[in-house]
Amino acid sequence: MKKNTAPTETATAQYLPGEEIAVLLPLPLAGTYDYRVAEEMTLTAGDFINVPLGARKAVGVVWGKGEGGVLESKLKDVLGRLDCPPLPEESRDFVDWTARYTLSAPGAVLKMVMSVPEALTPPKPVIAYTLNPKPEPFKPTKARERVLAVLNDGPPRPAAELAREAGTGSGVVKGLVDAGALSPVNLPARAAGPEPDWRLPGPDLSADQDKAARPLQAATKKGGFSVTLLDGVPGSGKTEVYFQAVAEALKQGGQVLVLLPEIALGAQWLQRFQDRFGAAPGQWHSDLTAAQRRHTWRAVAEGQTKVVVGARSALFLPFADLRQIIVDEEHDTSFKQEDGVIYNARDMAVVRAQLGAIPIVLASATPSLETVLNAESGRYQMQHLADRHAGAALPEVDTIDMRAEQTPSQCWVSPSLRNGLAATFANGEQAMLFLNRRGYAPLTLCRTCGHRMQCPNCSAWLVEHRRGGRLQCHHCGFGAPPPKQCPECEKEDTFAACGPGVERLAEEIADLFPKARTVIAASDTLAGPKAAADLVRRIEDHDVDLIIGTQVVAKGYHFPLLTLVGAVDADLGLAGGDLRAAERTHQLLYQVAGRAGRAGRAGRVLLQTFMPDHPVMKALKEGNRDGFLKAEAESRRQAMMPPLGRLAAVIVSGPDEAAVDATARSLGRTAPTGDDITVLGPAPAPMALLRGKHRRRLLLKTAKSTNLQGVLREWLARVQPPRKVRIQADVDPYSFL
Ligand code: ADP
Ligand code: ZN
């Protein structure tokens, strides 16, 4: 077998017996492999097929014409075609494009498309039984009579169900089948549920909303590639506006993909979709059962499921006829996948729209600098919603200067914030305290010798989770009960918790407001969509006065009684060397602030900060988002950083520190040079040890016009890492760990 890099053929290409075809396998190999179409077989580009691979059998996709060059005698025959719609041309182009952009093997990207191998074969129909209208004579028994009675007034049912309803064993049903009293019928494996209905009227849009919705709808109707930024303040009704584009795509008979961050927490979103379209959308996220995945994948491939809402991986579903993409909260960094194929789903969604020649809407109240600059330059259209729906005002934002407040030691709620909370509770309203730290305390140290409890596998402190009684690493999952003795000085009971997490904050609140009904909302206390939906309901029902939450409650939610939001440590995200630290902190705090005062009652936001004059705090206080973005763009321009320059990270990792160092140094020695090219490093990554692997990092910085992937590809080809050392490229990095 020989590798090729042949481009994708068009969808209509047909391959006849004896012809050589290129097959892409869902494996991290460099390219396609050639096979021969077997006797009496006709294949089409995109077909899923079985092929021999060494001694095994593998499923691959017909990618195009064979590259040739394989000896006739070595060429193997395709074993068979799977009963599945072929992978559409757009999806195949998308695989190739994503692979080239992210410097991944195309097969590794295809593997994300073929994430549910079982879905490639049709579901087995369920056999049900009905009364035979012309039965042979058979011996009646009490049990047999009961089975017949059940069927007399009901639809056909599978044997097990019949037996259960008749209160008998399955042998009785089988006996009736053998005797010819019952006849089998095939039922579909899974009844198709109702599909969303675009004819339902939806709410009356305000004049502003209507003005924003019309061009979106027109773009969907017209088809063709376009990107629109839907930029609207929190609570302005962006969802209702982009639902109009969804409705239009449905009217055209096409499919729609809505990407949402942290879909598992989207209970409110799902309800709104249901209210608007009368049926639930297909869902795609990590909390599905294997059966649900199989069903949805297949239904998307067959074009039956019209709307899919999902997390980033939904982008790789094999849509039969995708006509519209929406990326909600487009700025959210959880769209970036950080392992395996490293990609940003927001950016790849734009590419997918371009390849499919369809419109895409990017919605956010705090669009990323990338998107804002694209809108300003005219590459993207822009629709603006400046006001909250139904006249609700944006909340008033104030900073609390923590240098001036008399906050007792080991306490984190300042007197000003405490007064704000007291007033809110007294009004019968709800409050939210935002602290982006899970657990009880981020650091545990020995009061005697100063030893800090650290993860054995990572350069990270262990976080105390007091409710679970454990010290945990938030990077690798390591956990252990707190030791009795300090591992360093061996003194007993000398540990002190340093700093607050949400659990500790809840303790302080219980002292300050013993009557307040408080819940903690963090990723570890809200495991799964059901827990999230329960919490949402409790908050909506006013069974809760105060939500203490991490970023999981920062976005999207709409709680009418919530009027006060307090950021306990507004400065938290500003530390560290992340180029987007300020932008992200601004987005996150703006989003959290957006939870306050959404329905008529005035909202208030209090930011506890030691840096009230920091541009982020000032922009939030003055409501000057655009001014902040302008300044931020200028500082990136000066530093030639994205989106005004291009950046890629190269991470060298492995269990043997010396080998990792040696590889990193040789990358440093062979680093590309040029007028617009800068290479920084190698240097230990901030997480110099992660999951037991040592890590070194290099950064490649180029001008915006440079072909970064080309430079990177050539560079990485010059260095052959030893076994057990891995070199990983991260184009457009978001995480600087
Ligand atoms: P955003 O996504 O911009 O933050 P939402 O779409 O969540 O705003 O809208 C905020 C609230 O206002 C939601 O409860 C939504 O149902 C309601 N809403 C928005 N537009 C309308 C409308 N035209 N008619 C009725 N309710 C609306
Ligand atoms: Zn760890």
Query: Could you read off the pLDDT of 446-495 as tens digits, one per residue?
Result: 999 999 999 999 999 999 999 999 999 999 999 999 999 999 999 999 99
Instruction: Answer whether 63's CB lies under 8 Å from 36's CB.
Output: no
**Protein residue closest via CA to atom 2 of ligand 1:** 238
CA of 432 to the centre of ligand 2 (A): 30
Count of C-beta atoms within a 10 Å radius of residue 550: 21
Which residue ranges have their beta carbon within 6 Å of ligand 1? 203-206, 209, 232, 234-240, 389, 558
**DSSP secondary structure code for residue 438 in this structure:** -
Instruction: Considering every ligand atom shown, identify the ligand nearest to the alpha carbon of residue 235 and give its number.
Output: 1
How many C-beta atoms lie closer than 10 Å to residue 704's C-beta?
A: 12
> pLDDT band for position 189 (50/70/90)?
low
Which of left, alpha, beta for 62 (phi over 0: left; psi -120 to 50: alpha)? beta
Cis peptide before 442 (omega within 30 of 0): no
Ligand number, closest to the Cα atom of 243 = 1
Q: Which of 39-53, 61-75, 409-423 has the lowest mean pLDDT?
A: 61-75
Question: Percent of the chain having pLDDT more than 90?
Answer: 75
Which residue's CA is the closest to the ligand 1 atom numbered 19? Answer: 237
Task: Please report the DSSP string for 444-480 in residue order.
Answer: EEETTT--B-B-SSSSSBPEEETTTTEEE-TTT--EE
For residue 220, which of 196, 241, 259, 250 has the smallest C-alpha distance?
A: 250
Whether the predicted pLDDT of 433 surpasses 50: yes
Q: Whose CA is nearest to atom 5 of ligand 1?
A: 237
Kind plus residue range of the DSSP H or E element containing 532: helix 528-540
In this structure, the residue with its CA closest to atom 14 of ligand 1 is 558
Query: Does residue 69 have a pLDDT over 90?
Result: no
Q: Which of 362, 558, 562, 592 to mutate to test the pocket of ligand 1 (most atoms within 8 A of CB)?
A: 558
Cα separation, 693 vs 300, in Å, equals 39
Instruction: Give the contacts of 137 (CB within 8 A, at least 6 positions apart).
Output: none
Please state the atom number of ligand 1 nearest to the C-alpha of residue 206.
23
Take residue 373 and report the two structure tokens written for it: 């600059």
Mean pLDDT, the chain, whole residue set: 92
At 129 the pLDDT is 87
Gap from CA of 263 to ligand 2 centroid (Å): 26
CA distance 152 to 135: 14
Strands 396-401 and 604-609: parallel
pLDDT at 10: 52
| Distance, C-alpha 592 to centroid of its chain | 20
Q: Which residues are paired to 431 by β-bridges?
A: 546, 564
230-246 pLDDT, tens digit per residue, is: 999 988 999 999 999 99
Inform me whether the pLDDT recorded for 6 exceeds 60.
Answer: no
622 burial via Cβ count (<10 Å: 0-12, 13-18, 19+): exposed
For residue 391, name the pLDDT band (cuts at 50, 70, 90).
confident
**Mind listing the pLDDT tens digit for each residue in 127-164?**
888 888 887 888 888 888 888 888 887 788 888 888 88
Lowest mean pLDDT among 170-174, 358-362, 403-407, 655-659: 170-174
Asked if 256 and 323 touch (Cβ cutoff 8 Å), the reply is yes
pLDDT category, 545, cuts 50, 70, 90? very high
Return the minimum-mean-pLDDT range out of 29-33, 154-158, 345-349, 423-427. 154-158
Residue 9 has pLDDT above 60, yes or no: no
Let me know if 477 is exposed, middle or buried by CB neighbors in 10 A (0-12, 13-18, 19+).
Answer: exposed
Tell me the pLDDT tens digit for each residue of 277-290.
Answer: 999 999 998 888 99
**Which atom from ligand 1 is nearest to the alpha carbon of 239?**
6
- CA-nearest residue, atom 11 of ligand 1: 235
Q: What is the pLDDT of residue 5?
A: 45
Per-residue pLDDT tens for 317-376?
999 999 999 999 999 988 999 889 999 999 999 999 999 999 999 999 999 999 999 999
pLDDT of residue 563: 95
Q: Taking 60 as the threshold, does the pLDDT of residue 8 lie above it? A: no
Q: Where are the beta strands (DSSP E) in 539-613?
A: 546-549, 562-567, 604-609
Range of weakest confidence among 33-42, 100-109, 391-400: 391-400
Higher pLDDT, 737 or 399: 399
Kindly give the distance from the C-alpha atom of residue 693 to the centroid of ligand 2, in angstroms, as a whole number. Answer: 10
Rounded percentage of the chain residues whose pLDDT exceeds 70: 97
Q: Give the number of whichever ligand sits closest to the CA of residue 366.
A: 1
Asked if 12 and 62 count as a contact pair (C-beta separation under 8 A), the reply is no
Count Cβ atoms below 10 Å from residue 113 Cβ, excluding itself: 22
Task: Provide the pLDDT for residue 177.
Answer: 87
Tell me, what's the pLDDT at 70?
A: 82
Residues 6+ apart with CB under 8 A from 21: 15, 34, 35, 36, 37, 43, 62, 63, 64, 65, 66, 78
Cβ-based neighbour number of residue 186 at 10 Å: 11
pLDDT for the residue numbered 598? 82
* Cα 389 to middle of ligand 1, angstroms: 6
What's CA 666's distance to the chain center, in Å?
A: 35
The reply to whether omega before 682 is within 30° of 0 (cis) is yes
Instruction: Determine which residue's CA is closest to atom 10 belonging to ligand 1.
Output: 235
pLDDT band at 532 (very low <50, low <70, confident <90, very high): confident
Q: What is the Å distance from ligand 1's center to 203 Cα?
A: 9
Q: What is the pLDDT of residue 735?
A: 82
- Measure CA 30 to chain center: 27
Determine the angle formed by the axes of helices 581-593 and 625-639, rounding to 10 degrees.
170
Q: Using the mean position of ligand 2's atoms as its centre, give its distance from the Cα of residue 85 in Å.
A: 43
pLDDT at position 274: 95
Asked whether 286 and 264 are in contact (CB, 8 A), the reply is yes
Nearest ligand (C-alpha, residue 388): 1
691 C-alpha to ligand 2 centroid (Å) = 6
Ligand nearest to the CA of 326: 1
* Spacing, Cα 722 to ligand 1 middle (Å): 56
Q: What is the mean pLDDT of residues 252-269?
A: 84
Between the CA of 209 and the centroid of ligand 1 the distance, in Å, is 10
pLDDT for residue 1 is more than 60: no
